[in-house]
Structure 1
Amino acid sequence: MNRIPLTIVASEAPEGRAKAASAKREADKLAKRLRHQVGRAIADFGMIEEGDKVMVCLSGGKDSYTLLDVLLQLQKKAPVSFSITAVNLDQKQPDFPEHVLPEYLASIGVDFHIIEQDTYSVVSRVIPEGKTMCSLCSRLRRGALYTYAEENGFTKIALGHHRDDLVNTFFLNLFFHAKLSGMPPKLLSDDGKHVVIRPLAYVREDDIEQYAEIKDFPIIPCNLCGSQENLQRAQVKKMLQQWEKDTPGRVETMARALGDIRPSQLSDPKLFDFLSLGQRGDGALPDAHAWLSGSETGPRQTGDNG
């Protein structure tokens, strides 16, 4: 039998222990950074208050797993008392691994519920083959989650969108919908019944990917509906990734800009009173129709011919 020389074992063992210790320190630093960023977002936007019943929407992707994990950590030392329930919508997509989420959630001892609703068949029937399913699928999913939240008295609905998602949505709306709007960290649903929060609003996607790998979350693939590489959102994401590669830190700069809006430096008269800015009199200004039609706004001045 071949034996490993004791001198080699003695020299390699400390090195292995040192690497393991270094990896643990980095993992601890990452976890602390995520807790800090999520805690800061919660405080900055007033996301969670005393007695809140928080529904964490869990898809099985890295983002929602990280959201749930960090919120559970913060819950233990939070300055307010709140409950957490993880909720997943099983949309009955083909080959969806139904056992993964229940087994994981049961293993960590968190309260959870699986909603079963066959939205996939509806989308497949309504959307022509080859067309993007995401818009209708998203509306049906949102409707199912909102209904469950209302029926069960949840006061906050937590989603796993991160910093990069917020920047991506801003450029998506800018390039394809001609408007300056994005994905706010906190919003009230259109019907006024639900407060939606995004506690990962300050968290980088790269950090989430690393954290998910360290924690070994049982990730469920997001390609169940087929390839979606040509989506507008995918195009914007690719652009942002290239920008970040060319100029590291650019996405963070843009993310900060979303929180530093200067209405007077833009062009929306609904947000800033351009009409009265620098006005030299009290009289009403002529409207657009007068300017475009060339109609007179006052007596014409003529010369005195005697």
Structure 2
Amino acid sequence: MPELSRKEKTEFNKLHKRLRRNVGNAIADYSMIEAGDRVMVCLSGGKDSYAMLDILINLRLNAPVDFELIAVNLDQKQPGFPEHVLPAYLEAQGVPYYILEKDTYSIVKSLVPEGKTTCGLCSRLRRGSLYGFAQEIGASKIALGHHRDDIVETLFLNMFFAGSLKAMPPKLLSDDKRNVVIRPMAYCKESDLVRYADHKQFPIIPCNLCGSQENLQRVQIKRMLQEWEREYPGRTETIFRSIRNVAPSQLADVSLFDFGSLSIAEDPDLHVPGIQVVNL
């Protein structure tokens, strides 16, 4: 990290403490990490996963429980992917790691027509590979680098394009019940992570497979939220709070609330006088 002025050091220390506090609170609120856990930290080469690993390493130094961190990168065989960057970084950090090689790039390019969105298929293939590898290495938790803004964006993606009211939970049991996924940065703002990555000068690796797709639905949602945030500062945080403050009886899902049994309570001791009509 470059030499900082006193003011820059003060600002960075505040930022670091805020991120540590947010990650620590999320871990505590959702019981994300427990004694003896072997946490597989999924490292993509982007700012979010770098920050997640860095903060978890820092938190582990003073954590009340002992747990293990193992970094895992999925090399999807994208053309021009700098294979040396992550191993060099992780060795310098002293973090045990695996590089899992799966040519999902060729699969995606062969199945998705030119110009169509690749993210959906790419995400499913990546998730399947990582889930399976977690079981191979005996990981009890899989840590993903999604932050608060990702969660809010997913909420609106599902509302606008899938007709469902759901987002990304901070903690998730996989469909096959064999993996627990955690998102330690669920309380962290993306803008804080951008600043943190700039300060730490992480060796960022861009995603060339889908990063240039400007018309992605997620990109459109992000722009919408950024506009809202400029016009009404704090709106994204308010929306995120609403995800944590759900009232099923005020929605319309009959599987979550028993609307059919609603009825007026009858009190035999309650006397309701008749209505008297008064001519004026």
TM-score (norm 1): 0.84
Q: Tell me, what secondary structure is at the counterpart of 1:275?
A: helix
The one of 4, 25, 30 aligned to 1:45: 30
Q: Deviation string for 1:145-167 (max 9, x for gaps)?
A: 11110111000000000000010
Partner in structure 2 of residue 110 of structure 1:
95
Counterpart contact for 2:119–2:210, Cα < 8 Å = no
Partner in structure 1 of residue 118 of structure 2:
133
The one of 208, 223, 235 aligned to 1:250: 235
The one of 119, 126, 129 aligned to 2:104: 119
Question: Structure 1's 250 and 217: CA in aligned 2 closer, same or farther, altered over 3 A?
Answer: same
Structure 1 residue 72 displacement after superposition? 0.2
Give structure 1 regions of 4+ aligned residues with deviation exceeding 6 angstroms: none
The one of 42, 54, 75 aligned to 1:90: 75
Gaps of 5+ in 1: 1-16, 282-306
Give distance in 1, aligned partners of 2:109 and 2:209: 12
Counterpart contact for 2:30–2:171, Cα < 8 Å = yes
Q: Deviation string for 1:249-286 (max 9, x for gaps)?
A: 000000111100011111111111111112579xxxxx
Report whether the alignment pairs 1:101 with 2:86: yes
Give distance in 2, aligned partners of 1:53 and 1:46: 14
Partner in structure 1 of residue 58 of structure 2:
73
Partner in structure 2 of residue 142 of structure 1:
127
Gaps of 5+ in 2: 267-280
The one of 242, 263, 268 aligned to 1:278: 263
The total of aligned residue pairs comes to: 264
Q: CA RMSD in A?
A: 1.3
Report whether the alignment pairs 1:200 with 2:195: no
Give distance in 2, aligned partners of 1:280 and 1:74: 52
Structure 1 residue 226 displacement after superposition? 5.4
Partner in structure 1 of residue 276 of structure 2:
none
Provide the identity percentage.
62
Letter in 2 for 1:77: N
Structure 1 residue 220 displacement after superposition? 0.6
Question: Structure 1's 271 and 102: CA in aligned 2 closer, same or farther, altered over 3 A?
Answer: same
Report whether the alignment pairs 1:222 with 2:207: yes
Give distance in 1, aligned partners of 2:98 and 2:234: 39
The structure with higher relative contact order (CA 8 Å, sep 6+) is 2
Letter in 1 for 2:43: L
Letter in 2 for 1:212: A
Report the structure number with the largest CA radius of gyration: 1
Structure 1 residue 225 displacement after superposition? 3.7
Structure 1 residue 223 displacement after superposition? 3.2
Question: Structure 1's 252 and 226: CA in aligned 2 closer, same or farther, altered over 3 A?
Answer: closer
Give distance in 2, aligned partners of 1:24 and 1:242: 31
Q: Deviation string for 1:122-175 (max 9, x for gaps)?
A: 111111111111111111111111111011100000000000001000000001
Q: Tell me, what secondary structure is at the counterpart of 2:133?
A: helix
Report whether the alignment pairs 1:190 with 2:175: yes
